[in-house]
Copies of this chain bind each other. A is one copy, B any other.
């Protein structure tokens, strides 16, 4: 049998590790012949744009390098598969099945977030309807950590490790001058505040900052925010604030209004907005810093736990397909925090598709501007360990797909 793997959604540090997990497990499985990679997610299958991964990943060295290379080696997409009942959808689904059948593909692995799980779910349902034996299996991935069922998502631990490391450096940077200041750090997270919340892990190393943490899950009001800032300024010379990009400041207009193909609003500028509010109302030195795409692609400071788990969950996905499972997604179940133990299980993809998991209300302090120590216990295991990054000329070495295959 042949298999195909595709990557979808926003880049992470761990999505290539999951691909390596699929690839390695396939190599160890005598019944699997070709391992195809689909270029730009599902688009590669629609357009019959596949590569033979054995020609791309040739050595153990290639595998190790790819494991620690950020972003998606096969490219990605934000393609929304229409519902099968929509006009013209049948042709598209047939095109996909034609491509899979043409290459004798019996299992499709999709590494992605809740939108990608929607694709897995739709394809497995369609496959069932037409009596196809092709298995569709989801492998979770997102720095947002917003997938339900699973304890956490591959990619999140590395993003959180980058956030903690960088916020700590910004704390050092912010406290050098004798004049008081406020620093606002804008962290990714449209609806779920996991990543901004993860900065609380710095408390385990004796940091007091970030003094304030605002998440989309906390009720935000500009009045209370200004009160919080004034209160922290009375206690600290350099006030550090971590804020999710997706907090709702009420009627203040800061959204661009544009929407992507999944109907998400492009958010930008909450950091700049709050900076302006502090300057206007408090009048102290204030700056805002956007961690931007660096928080999803900074492999040089990735979490070893994250990368290892991402590979493992990729391997387990292959085993699930070989067991005949389809329309399933692999998930982590945490057995304990200390020692950190997780198992990998299968769950129905429909439980994850298009669904979001929010930061627990019970881990947000009553004040709405901080998170509890329970969150630290949750985050810490996910950021443990460093990968031995291959360096060349003083810079990390990245795996690059050779010209021979495209």
Chain A residues within 8 Å of B, Cβ to Cβ: 11, 40, 43, 69-72, 75-78, 161, 164-166, 168-170, 172-173, 175-178, 201-202, 204-206, 289-290, 292-294, 296-301, 303, 380, 383-386, 391-398, 400
A-B contact pairs, 20 of them (CB 8 A): A11-B172, A11-B176, A70-B172, A71-B175, A75-B178, A76-B177, A77-B177, A77-B178, A165-B396, A166-B298, A169-B294, A169-B396, A173-B296, A205-B392, A205-B395, A206-B400, A294-B294, A301-B301, A303-B394, A383-B393
> Could you tell me if B300 and A165 are in contact, using CB atoms closer than 8 angstroms?
yes
Contacts of A400 in B (CB 8 A): 206
Evaluate whether A170 and B392 lie within 8 angstroms (CB atoms) in the complex, with A40-B178, A75-B178, A301-B300 already known.
no
Contacts of A289 in B (CB 8 A): 292-294
Of chain B, the residue at the smallest CB distance from A391 is: B386
Give bound CA distance, A398 to B166, whole Å.
Answer: 12
Of chain B, the residue at the smallest CB distance from A394 is: B383
> Could you tell me if B76 and A168 are in contact, using CB atoms closer than 8 angstroms?
no
Contacts of A161 in B (CB 8 A): 394-395
The 9 closest A-B pairs by CB, nearest first: A383-B394, A71-B172, A76-B176, A173-B297, A169-B297, A384-B394, A204-B393, A40-B178, A72-B176
> Could you tell me if A173 and B393 are in contact, using CB atoms closer than 8 angstroms?
no
Evaluate whether A173 and B70 lie within 8 angstroms (CB atoms) in the complex, with A206-B400, A397-B205 already known.
yes
> Could you tell me if A164 and B394 are in contact, using CB atoms closer than 8 angstroms?
yes
Of chain B, the residue at the smallest CB distance from A176 is: B76
Contacts of A11 in B (CB 8 A): 172-173, 176
Evaluate whether A300 and B169 lie within 8 angstroms (CB atoms) in the complex, with A78-B177, A394-B380, A394-B384 already known.
yes
Evaluate whether A202 and B69 lie within 8 angstroms (CB atoms) in the complex, with A176-B11, A289-B292, A294-B170 already known.
no
Contacts of A380 in B (CB 8 A): 393-394
Give bound CA distance, A70 to B172, whole Å.
Answer: 7
Of chain B, the residue at the smallest CB distance from A397 is: B205
> Could you tell me if A176 and B294 are in contact, using CB atoms closer than 8 angstroms?
no
Contacts of A397 in B (CB 8 A): 205
Of chain B, the residue at the smallest CB distance from A43 is: B178
Give bound CA distance, A105 to B145, whole Å.
Answer: 56
- Min CB distance A211 to B, Å, is 16
Residue in contact with A395 in the complex, picked from B76, B78, B165, CB distance below 8 Å:
B165
Give bound CA distance, A395 to B69, whole Å.
Answer: 20
- Min CB distance A209 to B, Å, is 12
New contact pairs (13) apart from A289-B293, A301-B301, CB-CB < 8 Å: A11-B172, A71-B169, A71-B172, A71-B175, A75-B178, A161-B394, A166-B298, A169-B300, A169-B396, A201-B394, A303-B394, A380-B393, A383-B393
Contacts of A290 in B (CB 8 A): 290, 292
> Could you tell me if B398 and A383 are in contact, using CB atoms closer than 8 angstroms?
no
- Min CB distance A17 to B, Å, is 14
Give bound CA distance, A383 to B176, whole Å.
Answer: 25
> Could you tell me if A75 and B175 are in contact, using CB atoms closer than 8 angstroms?
yes
> Could you tell me if B294 and A393 are in contact, using CB atoms closer than 8 angstroms?
no
Of chain B, the residue at the smallest CB distance from A9 is: B176
Evaluate whether A396 and B168 lie within 8 angstroms (CB atoms) in the complex, with A75-B178, A178-B40, A178-B75 already known.
yes
Give bound CA distance, A299 to B170, whole Å.
Answer: 11
Contacts of A204 in B (CB 8 A): 392-393, 395
Of chain B, the residue at the smallest CB distance from A44 is: B178
- Min CB distance A233 to B, Å, is 18
> Could you tell me if A71 and B294 are in contact, using CB atoms closer than 8 angstroms?
no
Give bound CA distance, A294 to B291, whole Å.
Answer: 9
Give bound CA distance, A168 to B396, whole Å.
Answer: 8
- Min CB distance A9 to B, Å, is 9
Give bound CA distance, A245 to B385, whole Å.
Answer: 35
